[in-house]
Structure formats: C-alpha cells, structure tokens
Structure 1
Amino acid sequence: MTTGQLPGTDVGEDPVDRIIFHVDMDCFYASCERLKEPSLDGRPVIVGMGYEHGETHGAVATASYEARAHGVESAQPIRQALDALPRVGHTDAGYDGPVGHYRPVDMEFYKDIASEVKSILHECAETVREVSIDEAYLDVTDRTGWDTVSDGDTRTLAEGYARYIKDRIDREVGVPASIGVAPDMATAKIASDFEKPDGLTVVPPATVRSFLEPIPIDDIHGIGPVTARELREHGIETAGGLASADRTMLITQFGSRGEELYERARGEDSRVVTPSGNPKSLSRESAFTASTDDSAQIREKIQALAGDVATRARSRGALYRTIGIKIVSPPFDVNTRARSLPGPIDDPDVVSTIADELYTEFVGATVRKVGVRVSNLDFGASDQVTLSGFENEQGDTSRQSDSGTDPDTPTGETLLDWVDPPDTTDDATEERSISEGQASLFSFSDSDVDPQE
C-alpha cells in the first residue's frame, strides 16, 4: 500500500470529508492467550488481574465472548466468575456443565503483541492517536476516500482500506480487530462496537444521523452510567432522542458537556485526531510463510527490517540509542535482545550490524517471525554517536565508551518495553465504567480498566 492518496480521491477542508478509523481489539487479553495456546480457540477464556493459577482471588480483566455467554463479565471478582463458570479440572465428580479456562494477566506478552498491532497502524496512517493498549484512532483522509468502488456499488474506498488494515492485523499478528469508519471520532468509536467481534462498520457522511438515531445513549462516546441515568430521567433513551432534545435544557443540566453530547448525537464532532506525541520507539516485524531455521534467510529478513526501521526513523527526524531484535519461535516463544549505545545516532549501517550481531545467539533456532526495533528515541539531539564514540560539531570523541554499550544496559538485555504508553491529555480521556472494562492495553498499568465491547 502506497503512502500517497489513492487515485480518484479528494481531500477537502470540510469536516465531512474526513475519514476516521477507530480500531478496537476484540477481547484483547483473551486473544493474546489464544496465540500462546491455540487449543483455547472457541473455548471460554477468562484473564484475571491479581489472579494466580488455582486461586480464587483477583478480578476479571477480560472474558472471551464464549465466557460472557455464561455470565462472566469484566471487572467481576474471580470468585463470582468461578460460580458462573467453574475452572477446568476443578469441578465436582459427575459435573458435565460448561467450564472456563482461567489465565493470569501476562502484561509483557500483551505489550509485545500490541506493539505489532501498533506498528501496522502507524504504517497505515500519518496520524494515529493511541487511546489505550487495545484501541486507537486513525485519520486516513489522505490515504483513501468516500468514493464508491465502482458505479452501482455501495462499497467505498474507505471500507476497502479498513478491510486491508483488519486483514493485516489478522494475518501478521493473529488477533482480531473491529474497525469503525466515519467522518468523526465519536461516530467511528460507536461504529467499531456495532458488529463485534471482528466487525467492520462503515458510516458514510450522508448516513451518520440515521445510523446514530437508534443507538442507546450508553453507547455514545463520553456518556457513562451516571450521565446516562440523568438523561433517562429526562426521557432520553437514544442518540436520536438526545439529538432532538432541548439544547438549552442540556446546557443548563450538564454545562458545556451537555452541548458537546448534543452535538455528538447529531454526528457533529469537530475534534481532530491528534498524535499521542512522539513515539519512544519504532519497529518492524515480519513472519515467514513457514517456520525456518535457515540462518541466511533469517538474516536477510532482519537486514531488510533494519533498513526499513532506520529509514522510518530518519523520515521522522529521530535519533535512537537502543537497537533490538525480536525472535519468535513456534508456537509463540518470544525472545527479545537489545544493545544500547553511549548516545543517540542516525546510522542505518549500525542498525543492520547490531541487529545481525544480536541474532547470532539464535543461529540454528527455528523461527516463525523476526522483528527489529530502535528505541530511546531523541527528536532534538544535536550530537550523535558512532560505533567509535560521540561525534559533535568539533568531531570530539572523548566521550567514547570502552565497551561501545551503555554500562547499565548489557549486551543481550531483554527488552520489556516494545510498546510505549500514550500521553494522557484530556482528549484521550473518556468517562468509563469499570463494569464494562478490560485492563488497559495501547496504557500499561495492571490496574487500569478500559471499556470493552
């Protein structure tokens, strides 16, 4: 996919010309657990925060749709979840009812998978706003259009591009994503929830009002349970009801938020997708068609990825201090190694050299996927380091390190931060209900709870 505008599209100034994607990963933690254990596919999976194997304490971080069908909900105490869906291998003799597969949160693994998704999103859009570990907004106005594919066909180019992103996430990462497509952020978010799991809902500009009209007020971006209850006290049950409500009454009752919600219910969300801030890392990953132990083939792919990552860093004006690789062996054994330099650099040859050296530890191993990453990015450095030391405007190399590496970051160090947390500005904040939540993933606190479909 080229980075330019698709033929036949026209990017306008009017907000209705914008094309916003909201990407939401479906039951993300459970999907990640299924990557580790493919036998869990189609079975009820419950991931618990503060939970340990065989215990009854903790809370549900996320539950797969199969588990939800038996009454297990996010943020529910594990003990209560076990009453609704007993754990495999812990039932009384003669019990033949449904059972669940309980797993503790494996945050580092989820971060790693989220990094792969994140990399695809940043390749597919110039502007990406990461809201949490499992969701993000993309402005793809310059990549596609609202034009239909052909005469007599109702499908839009925007739908095709969204399907391309969904397919890449599924093919390259192996987890399902739902995408909502609309001319504004609020409608795009509602659309991403509309056909979960693994959904794709497109709301062209001319259909926004009719799409929103029957939507329950609980599903409107920014409305939590307290606000929903207060709106119902005024007889407002749907977005259509909110859109036709007395605007003055809403402002009197809710202040400026009342006007904001009124406008969102009408599809009049003027917010623009703003980046989450400069990234702290850039990475590229690629899977082999079939797992291989051919070191020449593996090295060739690593070199290609290294070159691509270095090019991306240069295009963004970023220097980098740490270079790392990821080696994934069947079925999903993830190993990461990194090396840090004494200071930031912009040198594709160094990225290629260090990535190749880090791979030598894995020569002979069977590999299904490889990745290259540059991190500890610096977007304002005046000096950069070479393999032989720092090089400033006077060519001074007196700050050279004997080892060529950061003494606090030994060669072969395991990377634990393949995903960087987004910023926490107000635009990324929503009114959220714990009862609807999953522990956060595109933020990385084990205690965070994020809305889940």
Structure 2
Amino acid sequence: MTFAEFTDTASDDDPRIILHVDMDCFYASCERLREPALRGEPLVVGMGYEAGEPHGAVATASYEAREYGIDSAQPISQALDSLPRAAETDAEPAGYYRPVDLDFYEEVASDVKAILHDCADVVREVSIDEAYLDVTDRTSWGVVDADGSEDRTIAEGYARYIKQRIDREVGVPASVGVAPNMATAKVASDHDKPDGLTVVRPSEVTDFLAPLPVAAIHGVGPVTERELAELGIDTAGDLAAADPTDLADRFGERGRELYARARGDDDREVTPTGRPKSLSRESAFTEATEETEAKRERVSALAADVAARARSRDAMYQTVGIKVVTPPFDVNTRATSLSGPIDEPDLVESIALDLLDEFDDDPVRKLGVRVSKLSFGAQDQARLDGFDATPATDSEDDDRTEWENTADIAREAVDTDAQLTDWVDDDGDRADDDDESDNHTAEGQSSLGRYD
C-alpha cells in the first residue's frame, strides 16, 4: 500500500476521524531509550526520588514492574519492599529505579509532537505523552481491498503509519485509538495496550462500547464504578441503557456526560491547546491515612514534580496551593500568594508543607499541589528576595472557583484511587497544562499531559 492510499480524504458528509495517541509508560520508555539495557526489565521512575534513597513516589512503572504490584503514586519505600533495587541484591525479583528527568522527557516528547503536527492539521496536546488528532482532512473511512476482501479502513493505515513513524524516528512505543469522536478514540487507545492500534468505525461504536466494563468509559473511576454497580450498571451497554435523568440525579451533570460517552455520543471538536492557566499534580492513597510522614512525603514529591514542570515550560508562578481530600468526599484547598512571580522549587515544597500542617491530624484520601497565576518567558527571573508570602483570600485566588467544595467535584477528586493524576476541572477533564487534560490513570504515570 502506498502513502497516498492512507491519505485519500473523506467527503464533507463522512463522520470525523479522530485519533487518540497515548505514549505507553512514557517516562519508562524514555529511560529505556537512554539505557537500552533496561528494556524488558522491571523499571520504576520516581518523582522526588534520588538514587539509593527510599524517598519519593512512583511516577510510572513499566509493565514488568507492575507484575509485582508496583503502581503509580505508591511510595518508593513501599515499592522497594516488593521490588528491591537490582544494584543491592542478587535475589529475584529485583528492579531498576530512576529519578524523573522532565527535561529529557520533554525533549523526547517534542520529537513525538513534531510528527503529530506533521500528520494532522489539528492537534490537541493533552499532556507530555498524550494527544488528540483530527485527521478527517488527511484520510477517510473508506476500505481497501486486502487479500481480496475489503476489511481495512484507509484511516487504519494512516494511524499505523503515524505509529511506525514514532517508533522509527523517536524510538518509543505508542498506542493509538481511531474513532469518529474524542471519547470513543480515548477508550480505543486504552483497549489494546501496550503498542496497540484499535479502530472503531462509525457503524461499530455501539457494538464496541456495549460489552466493555463501565470503568472503560472515560471519567469512570473506582468510586463511580462502585456507585454505578449499586444501580445494577456494570457495562457500558448498561450505562447507555440507563435513564439519563436518574444518572443526573445521582451524579449531577457528569451523569449525563457519562451516559453520552457510553452511547458513543460526543460532538466536541479537537481544538489546539493554549498556554496553561496552572500546573498541578494530585495523588490518591489506596486507603485514607493519618500518617503525617506519609502525607508530607507525598506532598514533597508532588511539589517537586510541579515545580520541575513549571521550569521546563519557562513558567513562573505567584500562587502555591494544595488540595486535601478527606473522607468521605470533602475537598479542602488552601493557597498562599506571593507579591510577584518566582521560580523557586524549594519554596513550592516549603509552602505546600506549611499549608498541609493544618491537616496534620486528619485522615486524608488524596493530596494535590498546584502552582498558578503563571507568567511565561520573563526576561529576568524574579528571585525570592523581597517577595512576602501572604495567605490567599477568596478574591486573591483566581482558581478558587475550580476548587469549590461541591459533591460532584469531591466525588471526581477521589475517583482515581491510588493513581497519580492531574487536577480535575468541572467538565471532567484533567486540569493539566491548560486545565484541560484528561482524567486518565490507566497507565499510572504523569502524562504528552491518565499520568499514563
């Protein structure tokens, strides 16, 4: 098949062709790119982690490491109990641990993004390792004659071409979902990981989604899954057949959104992302904990990750905040504003830990750290000297409306237990680079913007 056959364009009446590109275990894949000997080995990449130390939290774990129970947001100390460092033992199992290197990951991601922008007129970069592409004008849903039978769409060939370019030119694996809308493309990219390619034709959307577990629908985490099970809803087909009014009564507007996604209804357009309003990371504990050191260790790791991401984007910040989710679904936010923008990772950690002191005796299900009031590309970096920290009031914190303590937001905030995620905004998408990346946690890592 020639490249031209991949790029026969659709007519104006044909459904859109949306690709969701999700880099598999991206941080681990980048480390293997740098150290090929790590391929096939259990590999853990930790944020706030230093070589030989037990501190920090798991940012991503390779599939080999996950076989030993290693998961995103798990403390490194706990991961070491299940998977000791290979450098310190000759026994099995043993794994390899590397600290997060966002500068390197951004370099690799930029190479991937260059390919995506070359292959699509419209690209929505959701995060460092995830993006949506609208390739409607580049290919079509038409089928090709393979071995005497029309059994493959031209769009599938185009998606495979993009996957092969990423593998050949960058050297990291990607899973791609192809569908007529964003929500279904997202489900498709998760369907056959790692290194998968799943195509859902317009006529197949309902049949594809119906038998899947309800957790496969974007936006359904463990908490919502349990609540849906109480209603007798176990599959996407069950959700699609439910009464949307009943769902709205139980889950608010998000219930109607989940109902539509389960039916394959999604008319959102793929729109390019702009500059972020804020940068944030949050992480859930498997069970609520009152352990002060566990909470402080988690916040320190999140603060280090957020500050590093801000620096990698040449961004300074004027407000530092935390989110604390306490049982059952109470979302608490606190923030401190400075008199001017800074780039001071140590200060982010210090402020976040100071704000956390208020919750020292409280059981906590989830923690988050955010920097906001961002400025970009400043000629002269503002230094800490002369900037006085003052607690943010309601009027000072521009992001407060996104953090209001409502039942819906609270439920969403704890809907990805034991996963490392980005802040969740009101439309159910993850609040990453521009508060619009996906609430995506299947891969268990910080995500081209599920931490994959």
Using the size of structure 2 for normalisation, the TM-score is 0.62
**Per-residue deviation at 1:224?**
2.5
Residues of 2 paired with 1:134 and 1:407: CA distance? 29
Of the candidates 124, 130, 138, which is equivalent to residue 143 of structure 1?
Answer: 138
Q: Does 1:439 align with 2:446?
A: yes
Partner of 1:446: none
Matched AA of 1:11: S
Instruction: Find 2:16's aligned residue among 6, 18, 33.
Output: 18
How far off is 1:49 after superposition? 0.5
Q: 1:118 to 1:227 in 2, by over 3 A?
A: same
- CA positional deviation for 1:422: 7.7
Partners of 2:433 and 2:98 in 1: CA distance: 29
**Cα distance in 1, alignment partners of residues 116 and 173 from structure 2:** 14
Describe how 1:29-428 pairs up with structure 2 within 5 A. 29-91=27-89, 96-150=91-145, 152-277=149-274, 423-425=433-435, 428=436
How far apart in 1 are the matches of 2:137 and 2:250? 39
Q: SS state of the match for residue 149, structure 1?
A: strand
CA distance in 2: counterparts of 1:224 and 1:136, whole angstroms: 21
Deviation at 1:97, TM superposition (A): 1.3
Q: Which amino acid aligns with 1:61?
A: A
Q: Residue type of the partner of 1:176? A: P
Whether 1:6 and 2:7 are equivalent positions in the alignment is yes
Q: Give the Cα–Cα distance (whole angstroms) in 1 for the partners of residues 130 and 139 of structure 2.
A: 21
Aligned partners of 1:262, 1:161: CA distance in 2, in Å?
30
Q: Spell out, residue by residue over 1:244-287, the C-alpha distance to the aligned partner (whole angstroms, 9 max, x if none).
A: 112221122223221221111011111111111389xxxxxxxx
Partner in structure 2 of residue 321 of structure 1: none
Q: 1:202 to 1:436 in 2, by over 3 A?
A: closer
Residues 5 and 142, structure 1, Cα contact 8 Å, conserved in 2: no
Conserved? CA contact 2:127–2:433, under 8 Å = no
Within 1, Cα distance between the matches of 2:98 and 2:58? Answer: 10
CA distance in 1, matches of 2:132, 2:65: 28
Percent identical pairs in the alignment equals: 63
The structure having more radius of gyration, on CA atoms, is: 1
* Secondary structure, counterpart of 2:124 in structure 1: strand
Q: With structure 1 as the length reference, what TM-score do the two structures score?
A: 0.62
1:42-79: per-residue Cα shift (whole Å, max 9, x none)? Answer: 11110001100001111110010111111111111111
User: Residues 278 and 148 of structure 1: is their aligned pair in 2 closer, same or farther, counting only changes over 3 Å?
Assistant: farther
- 1:219–1:181 CA distance, 2 compared to 1 (3 A): same
Residues 1:432 and 1:149: Cα distance change in structure 2 (over 3 Å): closer
Please provide the CA RMSD for this pair.
Answer: 3.0
- Paired with 2:175 and 2:439, the residues of 1 have a C-alpha distance of 21
Q: How many Å separate the matches in 2 of 1:275 and 1:250?
A: 31
5+ residue gaps, structure 1, are 280-376, 379-405, 410-420, 444-449
Matched to 1:130, the amino acid is E
How far residue 36 of structure 1 moved from its aligned partner, in angstroms, is: 0.9
Q: Residues of 1 paired with 2:76 and 2:207: CA distance?
A: 41
State the alpha-carbon separation in 1 of the partners of residues 68 and 161 from structure 2.
Answer: 33
Q: CA deviation at 1:222?
A: 1.8
Matching residue of 1:313: none
- Partner Cα distance (1:11, 1:153) in 2: 19
Q: Give the secondary-structure state (helix, strand or coil) at the position aligned to 2:46.
A: strand
State the 1:31 CA deviation.
0.5
Shift of 1:228: 2.0
Distance 1:278 1:125, change over 3 A: farther
CA-to-aligned-CA distance 1:395-415 (integer Å, 9 cap, x gap): xxxxxxxxxxx9979xxxxxx
**2:98 match: secondary structure:** strand
Q: Secondary structure at the match of 1:274?
A: coil
Give the superposition deviation at 1:423. Answer: 5.0
Q: In structure 1, what is the Cα distance between the partners aligned to 2:272 and 2:74?
A: 33
**Offset of residue 225 of structure 1:** 2.6
Contact 1:224 1:432 in 2 (8 A): no
Sort the Cα spacing of 1:423 and 1:56 in 2 relative to 1 into closer, same or farther, 3 A: closer
Find the residue that maps to 2:152 and give its secondary structure.
Answer: coil
Structure 1 278/2 Cα, relative in aligned 2: closer, same or farther at 3 Å?
farther
Q: How many residues in Structure 1 have an aligned counterpart in Structure 2?
A: 303
Q: Which runs of 5+ in 2 are unaligned?
A: 277-375, 382-430
Partner amino acid, structure 1, of 2:25: C
Contact 1:242 1:262 (C-alpha < 8 Å) held by counterparts:
yes
Could you tell me how far 1:13 is from its partner in structure 2? 4.4
Question: 1:10 corresponds to which letter in structure 2?
Answer: A
Q: Distance in 2 between matches of 1:125 and 1:278?
A: 20
